[in-house]
Amino acid sequence: MDDPVIRVRGLATRFGDHVVHEGLDLDVGRGEILGVIGGSGTGKSVLLRQIVGLLEPAEGEIEVLGQPVRDTSPEEFRDLRRRWGVMFQGGALFSSLSVRENVEAPMREQMDLPDDLRRKLAAIKVRMVGLPDDAMDKPPSALSGGMRKRAGFARAIALDPEIVFLDEPTAGLDPIGAAALDVLVRQLRDALGLTVFLVTHDLDTLHAICDRVAVLAERRVLATGTLDELRDLRHEWLQAYLGGPRGRAARGEP
């Protein structure tokens, strides 16, 4: 892959004697939606948090948009961090703030904007993710699960990022809400030119929106490719995951 926007080489992750990753390599291309899958304990969310600088790996190199995430100055990392957005599981919204104030939070932290302009920009982001205007001044507790996810997505794109990291975005949603969120992710990827790094276990999401899928197994990225390519890989967990009843249902097979 030429000039990947995310490049991971030789990543090792250890918690005491427990080894999660060893020699993990991964490239993510500009403009693609990459789904990251793996069994329980394979370190999918841990990998995401390492790429965005929230966890320190034991070894390895991580570059995002051509710049190192590790061993960089606080000023350089702050500038780099403005070029991505993150939506953690459940949206991870501030419960004491309204939806609008949650979306404004990254702007307050990273940008020196007049209050009126910041409020207007936050309102634009809220509308972009399909939330009604009357949701803007509500606290997260007053929203449905699907609306909270959308609010979290609005906050993730608050700074017009080049990359969005989504951690289990459809977890806990009913099938209709999950499908609607999948459509939103693809629409905003196309409209804003985003690259999307998506940790998921949702087979419907993989089929609906992911351009490629990376499989975490055996402490590394076992393989990357389209779902059709991965089905040819003879690996016990992957065959059970993609070839089981849910996998067949996701691709419309009996």
Residue 28 lies in a domain: no
Nearest-10 crossing angle of helices 145-156, 175-192: 20
pLDDT at residue 191 is higher than 80: yes
- Could you tell me the pTM of the whole model? 0.93
The strands making up 220-225's β-sheet, listed across from edge to edge, are 84-87, 163-167, 195-199, 33-38, 212-217, 220-225
Given a cut of 90, whether residue 27 has pLDDT beyond it is yes
Question: Is residue 133 one of the residues assigned to a domain?
Answer: yes
Q: What is the pLDDT of residues 98-133, one digit of tens each?
A: 999 999 999 998 888 899 999 999 999 999 999 999
Q: What pLDDT score was predicted for residue 11?
A: 97
Residue 123 lies in a domain: yes
112 assigned to some structural domain: yes
88 is a domain residue: no
Query: Is residue 114 a part of any domain in this protein?
Result: yes
Q: Is residue 144 assigned to a domain?
A: yes
- Largest CA-CA distance found in the chain, in angstroms, rounded: 57
Give dist(CA 105, CA 237) in Å, integer: 40
Alpha-carbon distance of 102 to 95, in angstroms, equals 9
Decide if pLDDT at 173 tops 80.
Answer: yes
State mean pLDDT over 90-102: 88
Total domain count for the chain? 1
Would you say residue 183 lies in a domain? no
* Domain, as residue range, for 120: 93-160
- Judged against a pLDDT cut of 60, whether residue 248 lies above it is answered with no
